[in-house]
């Protein structure tokens, strides 16, 4: 209306209010309902400080904690044909993709990177549950193949972090085709004699569980992660019986021989270092000698992997994403 409400007030607001809205400052734990302050939650690797629930962690945040000094090089993933079925639900598939890309700042549901983890060279791939439920479409298939090919090329182990609601229905049969494709990719690693470790995070379901997520040499899960093909509700409705407590959760699957380990997120890096060094016939890592996950000074140029100028370099502390 007037100069004060149209100009002065917004100006004052922009000066004093931080742009974060309260929902971004506080996160409600989906398991116990506790309100958690975002900084405290980030420091605790997105694990609820009250009930220990392991919340969704984006691939980029995960890699920043995984690689030495948070430094990694992204491995390029070939772009698949966009929307071959011209799929439409409430929204056109390309529009849905575009809005998700804008929301997450990522091109697709999987990130592939190479770098050093505890001075142990690895290739890692991580699925992004916040990107359309981490659904496996053609891009995710391409990403796993790119990761396996790169691992074979530079003779490094592959560590994959799975998180998915299953196949991407917008790509129909083409998404299901990623199950055999990724199985072939895993086979490439086997033939090259390279370790393939899968870390199953909450939730890993559907075609992902039925293919690459269950084909690892070692399967580690995060605590209480739901890991299944068909979910508990579907099974309950089909067999009309109440399922046992903790059914299809990580600890239950460990007891029944489906997993090798259940490991807390804070211990995951140490454990992956120990395992990869053991499987690659490298001397065991001496505690205290490894660079800390976020200590950038710890990575000397001599110990860092060769990075060509054309390769994109990622460093920790992307404040723009977390704010």
Query: Where do contacts with Zn ion occur on this chain (CB under 5 A)?
Result: 29, 31-32, 34, 48, 50-51, 53
Nearest partner of 56 among 129, 160, 132, judged by Cα: 129
Of the two residues 77 and 250, which places its CB atom closer to Zn ion in the complex? Answer: 250
Of the two residues 60 and 249, which places its CB atom closer to Zn ion in the complex? Answer: 249
Shortest spacing between CB 32 and Zn ion, in angstroms: 3
Shortest spacing between CB 128 and Zn ion, in angstroms: 22
Shortest spacing between CB 112 and Zn ion, in angstroms: 31
Shortest spacing between CB 47 and Zn ion, in angstroms: 9
Of the two residues 50 and 322, which places its CB atom closer to Zn ion in the complex? Answer: 50
Give dist(CA 250, CA 54) in Å, integer: 12
Of the two residues 36 and 132, which places its CB atom closer to Zn ion in the complex? Answer: 36
Backbone angles phi, psi at 66, to 5 degrees: -85, -45
Give dist(CA 64, CA 269) in Å, integer: 11
Of the two residues 116 and 222, which places its CB atom closer to Zn ion in the complex? Answer: 222
Cβ contact 132:168 at 8 Å: yes
Shortest spacing between CB 275 and Zn ion, in angstroms: 28
Of the two residues 52 and 183, which places its CB atom closer to Zn ion in the complex? Answer: 52
Shortest spacing between CB 203 and Zn ion, in angstroms: 16
Of the two residues 54 and 277, which places its CB atom closer to Zn ion in the complex? Answer: 54
Shortest spacing between CB 250 and Zn ion, in angstroms: 16
Residue identified by tokens 């079925």 is 85
Strand partners, 160: 125, 198
Cβ contact 150:123 at 8 Å: yes
Give dist(CA 94, CA 250) in Å, integer: 35
Of the two residues 7 and 37, which places its CB atom closer to Zn ion in the complex? Answer: 37
- Classify strands 26-28 and 218-221 as parallel, antiparallel or unpaired: unpaired
Shortest spacing between CB 48 and Zn ion, in angstroms: 3
């Amino acid at each position: 209306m007037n100069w004060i409400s149209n100009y002065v007030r917004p100006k004052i607001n922009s000066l004093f209010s931080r742009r974060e809205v309260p929902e971004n400052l506080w996160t409600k734990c989906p398991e116990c309902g506790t309100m958690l302050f975002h900084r405290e939650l980030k420091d605790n690797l997105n694990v609820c400080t009250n009930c220990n629930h392991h919340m969704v962690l984006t691939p980029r945040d995960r890699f920043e904690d995984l690689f030495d000094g948070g430094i990694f090089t992204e491995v390029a993933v070939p772009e698949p044909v966009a929307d071959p079925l011209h799929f439409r639900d409430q929204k056109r598939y390309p529009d849905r993709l575009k809005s998700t890309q804008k929301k997450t700042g990522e091109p697709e549901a999987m990130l592939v990177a190479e770098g050093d983890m505890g001075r142990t060279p690895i290739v890692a791939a991580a699925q992004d549950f916040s990107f359309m439920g981490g659904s496996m479409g053609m891009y995710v298939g391409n990403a796993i193949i790119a990761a396996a090919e790169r691992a074979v090329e530079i003779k490094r182990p592959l560590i994959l972090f799975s998180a998915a609601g299953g196949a991407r229905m917008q790509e129909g049969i083409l998404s299901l085709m990623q199950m055999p494709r990724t199985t072939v990719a895993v086979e490439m690693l086997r033939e090259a004699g390279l370790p393939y470790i899968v870390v199953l995070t909450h939730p890993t379901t559907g075609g992902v569980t039925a293919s690459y997520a269950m084909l690892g040499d070692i399967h580690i899960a995060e605590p209480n992660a739901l890991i299944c093909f068909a979910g508990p509700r579907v099974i309950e409705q089909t067999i009309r019986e109440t399922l046992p407590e903790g059914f299809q959760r990580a600890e239950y699957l460990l007891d029944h021989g489906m997993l090798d380990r259940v490991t807390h997120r804070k211990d995951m890096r140490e454990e992956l270092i120990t395992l990869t060094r053991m499987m690659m016939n490298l001397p065991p890592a001496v505690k205290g000698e490894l660079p800390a996950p976020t200590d950038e000074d710890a990575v000397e140029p001599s110990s860092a992997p060769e990075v060509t100028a054309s390769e994109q370099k990622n460093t920790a502390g992307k404040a723009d994403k977390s704010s």
